[in-house]
Structure 1
Amino acid sequence: MKSILYWLLMPALLLVIWLLLNETVSIDHIVLGSVLALLLAWAAMALRPLRSTPKKPLTLIRLLANVVVDITKSNVAVARLIWLGAESHTPGFIRIPIELRDPHGLAALACIITYTPGTVWAGFSEQKGVLTLHVLDLKDENHWIQLIKRRYEQPLKEIFE
């Protein structure tokens, strides 16, 4: 029963998006949207052979809240750097040892880092477990290492591993 509900989650989301885009809840659009959603979800299953079931939903909510706060703070900091001019910041690359190995967790970490203005995921060595990160304003390398490890990697390990 649980697997059926899990499988129907994506078609339900696609149906809601379909109805919102068409701005109607007529029976014709519900039927057409349901058929399209089921077919698209079935076709997409072949593209995603590795499955993941996130654990600890409260940790996930806390992580999402932290990401929203960090993105907001980073937007303000980057805007301030741009307005103050090019001399006021020191860009650079840092290497951060990462213990996270789950591909879904690594993908989430890459998205979080890239969504945050002023940081870019520049590379990851699977053999060494080292993330290369480009930071727009790199004043304290240890601060960035602790930020990534504590604020993002630790919750992602709890959620995906």
Structure 2
Amino acid sequence: MSLLKRVLPHPWLSLSMLIGWQLLMNQVSAGSLIMGAILACLIPWMTNVFWPNPPRACRVDRLFLFVCRVLIDIVVANLQVAKLILGPRRELRPAFVLFPLTLEHEFSISVLASTISLTPGTVSADISADRKTLLIHGLDVGDEQALIEHIRRRYEQPLKEVFECSKR
């Protein structure tokens, strides 16, 4: 491990913290820059042991497509939820669904759970102790199996291609 990586384990976080500090201080002075730089170096260094090592993206092109897909799905889901809430009154069918995971790496599972929660109308509620099942709550679930297949096809399979390609 290089000296720079040991001293500054997360340089982008440090830079973001320094900028955030300066914005909070609402002034640029030598004292606020020095204090911001000290905090921006110390906090990531002291919390480095708590940071997981994310896997490398094997297919960056697939990662880009995944991010685009998620952004589009967020917009579409926002419109669908707005239609459900503001449209003609009908009974919603909220349900908890057990989603069997095929992902193995904790980082991939975390990204999947976050993606599900980011998409309006669904939220990741819990994960089993053995990391094999994700509990998902859906706002309007007509067919549980259709929801499972949708999540598997749209999110889990692409994540597997991006992060778990070495395990194939």
| TM-score for the superposition, normalised by structure 2 | 0.78
Aligned-partner Cα distance in 2 for 1:57–1:17: 29
Q: Which runs of 5+ in 1 are unaligned?
A: none
The residue number in structure 1 matching 2:53 is 51
| TM-score for the superposition, normalised by structure 1 | 0.81
Aligned-partner Cα distance in 2 for 1:104–1:128: 12
SS class of match (1:75): helix
RMSD, aligned α-carbons: 2.6
Alignment of 1:107-118 (within 5 A): 107-118=110-121
SS class of match (1:81): helix
Alignment of 1:76-155 (within 5 A): 76-84=79-87, 87-127=90-130, 129-155=132-158
Residues 86-143 of structure 1 show CA distances to partners (whole Å, capped at 9, x for unaligned) of 5243222222221112111111211111122111213222437222222111123333
Structure 1 residues 122, 90: closer, same or farther in 2, change over 3 A? same
The residue number in structure 2 matching 1:62 is 65
Aligned residues: 160
Aligned-partner Cα distance in 1 for 2:42–2:147: 44
Q: Percent of aligned pairs with the same residue?
A: 34
Q: Which runs of 5+ in 2 are unaligned?
A: none
8 Å contact from structure 2 (residues 9, 44) kept in 1: no
Structure 1 residues 85, 61: closer, same or farther in 2, change over 3 A? same
Aligned-partner Cα distance in 2 for 1:53–1:3: 21
